């Protein structure tokens, strides 16, 4: 479904678009600064030449020599200010910096909400089935999304063992705009956080820190952190799917038709407790080495 080294089909990602626009802006700023430097050098040579010629014509003008030095000095100050703006202010405090600050604030708030919810839950514990079933809100649906081989194979050495661009596209379209709950290992398998999704990372390490998402230490806190979302997704890996199976209402499973050498598996699930409500076949083609089916399973209560 996703992984570290796999190539995606080219799509216009909003984050890539923003990076491209920022790069264009930076090039424009640097070009402007270079032009300013050239004009300054030409201007300085011109002013020095004019002052020399004027001194030849009338040596008394030597007394007025400062005027061009002052012009050059003030100009030089403008040039230094321009350079500072391009290389320090715009680079360090530009839109990227603003966005990072904003994301950090949002993340802190969400962590605080999760913490408060955890305290409330500890002070007024609910019966076990209600804690686990955060879907007590009837419209809320917790979905596990995974791609697994014929024997439930998920991945090896922290990566996937197939490259299926259409599965990745589906994963992206289903999860964009939502909270995605994952294990620390899956989170660390991403080169960078996935755009436009709130990452909730499960770890037992109380000192674990990241700028890329909300860190939690148990599944009920993860679900509490996603409480504003009517459709949070549990995106793996193997350890977290095992936990998720107890609370999920739906499984979006891409069943990949092949057997693979892996070290991580999707948990066996009791097909009597789950109903296959939709399936869509995807054949092998030039971009997909394996055929697969998109299966939607819903819990039978
Ligand atoms: N095919 C797919 O759809 C798919 C999807 C996702 C991932 N994957 C693959 O799956 C593999 C990773 O899966 P994985 O099972 O090795 O790791 P994982 O589930 O991604 O993460 C495991 C980590 O989660 C934390 N954790 C587990 N149980 C916890 C609990 N009860 N409370 C708090 N934290 C808990 C621990 O972190 P700490 O060690 O920090 O305590 C643990 O090491 C990779 O190969 C990846 O490519 C495949």
pLDDT in tens, 111-134: 777 778 777 777 776 554 444 554
Tell me which of 129-143, 168-182, 274-288 is least confident. Answer: 129-143
What pLDDT band is residue 223 in, cutting at 50, 70 and 90? very high
Cα–ligand 1 centroid distance for 235 (angstroms): 9
Mean pLDDT of 271-290: 94
CATH number at residue 184: 3.40.430.10
Closest ligand 1 atom to the C-alpha of 159?
47
Q: Are residues 24 and 117 in the same domain?
A: no
In a domain, 185, yes or no: yes
261 and 153 part of one domain: yes
The sign one gets for the Cα dihedral 247, 180, 7, 159 is negative
Domain stop point among 69, 92, 115: 92
Share of the chain above pLDDT 70, in %: 85
Within a domain: 117: yes
Asked if residue 1 belongs to a domain, the reply is: no
Query: CB of 194 closer than 6 A to ligand 1?
Result: no
Q: Is the pLDDT at 11 greater than 60, yes or no?
A: no
User: Whose alpha carbon is nearest atom 32 of ligand 1?
Assistant: 218
Q: Which H or E element spans position 72?
A: helix 66-84
Quick: pLDDT tens for 173-207. 999 999 999 999 999 999 999 999 999 999 999 99
Q: In terms of domains, do 87 and 109 share one? A: no
Helix (H/G/I), strand (E/B), else coil: 243 = helix
Q: What is the b/e burial string over 193-216, where b = at least 16 CB atoms within 10 angstroms of the residue's CB?
A: bbeebbbbbbbeeeeeeeeebbbb
> Is the minimum distance from the CB of 1 to ligand 1 under 6 angstroms?
yes
Say yes or no to pLDDT of 229 above 50: yes
**What residues make up the domain containing 223?**
98-299
Task: Give the highest mean pLDDT range of 4-8, 53-57, 163-167.
Answer: 163-167
* Beta carbon of 183 within 6 Å of any ligand 1 atom: yes
Q: Do 274 and 188 share a domain, yes or no?
A: yes
In a domain, 3, yes or no: no
Q: Domain check: are 167 and 54 in the same one?
A: no
Say if residue 47 is in the same domain as residue 147.
Answer: no
Do 173 and 289 lie in one domain? The reply is yes
Mean pLDDT of 147-166: 96
Q: Is the pLDDT of residue 245 over 90?
A: yes
- If one counts the domains in the chain, the total is 2
Same domain, 111 and 83: no
Ligand 1 center from residue 113 Cα (angstroms): 24
Mean pLDDT of 255-279: 94
In a domain, 2, yes or no: no
160 CB within 6 A, ligand 1:
yes
- 238 CA closest ligand 1 atom index: 15
């Amino acid at each position: 479904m996703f992984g570290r080294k796999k190539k995606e089909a080219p799509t216009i990602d909003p984050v890539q678009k923003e990076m491209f626009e920022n790069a264009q802006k930076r090039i424009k700023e640097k070009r402007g600064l270079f032009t300013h430097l050239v004009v300054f050098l030409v201007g300085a040579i011109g002013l020095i030449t004019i002052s020399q010629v004027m001194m030849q014509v009338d040596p008394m003008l030597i007394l007025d020599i400062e005027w061009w030095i002052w012009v050059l000095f003030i100009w030089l100050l403008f040039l230094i200010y321009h350079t500072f703006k391009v290389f320090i202010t715009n680079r360090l405090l530009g839109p990227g910096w603003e966005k990072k600050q904003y994301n950090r604030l949002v993340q802190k708030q969400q962590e605080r909400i999760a913490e408060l919810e955890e305290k409330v839950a500890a002070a007024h514990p609910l019966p076990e089935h209600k804690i686990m079933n955060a879907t007590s809100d009837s419209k809320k649906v917790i979905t596990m999304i995974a791609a697994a081989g014929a024997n439930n194979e998920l991945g090896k050495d922290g990566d996937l063992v197939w490259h299926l661009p259409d599965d990745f596209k589906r994963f992206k379209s289903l999860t964009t705009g939502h909270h995605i709950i994952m294990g620390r290992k899956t989170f660390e398998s991403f080169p960078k956080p996935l755009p436009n999704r709130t990452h909730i990372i499960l770890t037992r390490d109380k000192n674990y820190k990241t700028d890329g998402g909300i860190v939690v230490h148990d599944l009920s806190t993860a679900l509490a952190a996603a409480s504003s979302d009517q459709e949070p997704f549990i995106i793996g890996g193997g350890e977290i799917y095992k936990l998720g199976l107890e609370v999920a209402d739906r499984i979006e499973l891409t069943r990949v038709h092949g057997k693979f050498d892996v070290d991580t598996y999707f948990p066996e699930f009791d097909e009597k407790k789950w109903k296959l409500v939709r399936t869509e076949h995807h054949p092998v083609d030039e971009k997909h080495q394996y055929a697969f089916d998109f299966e939607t399973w819903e819990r039978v209560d």
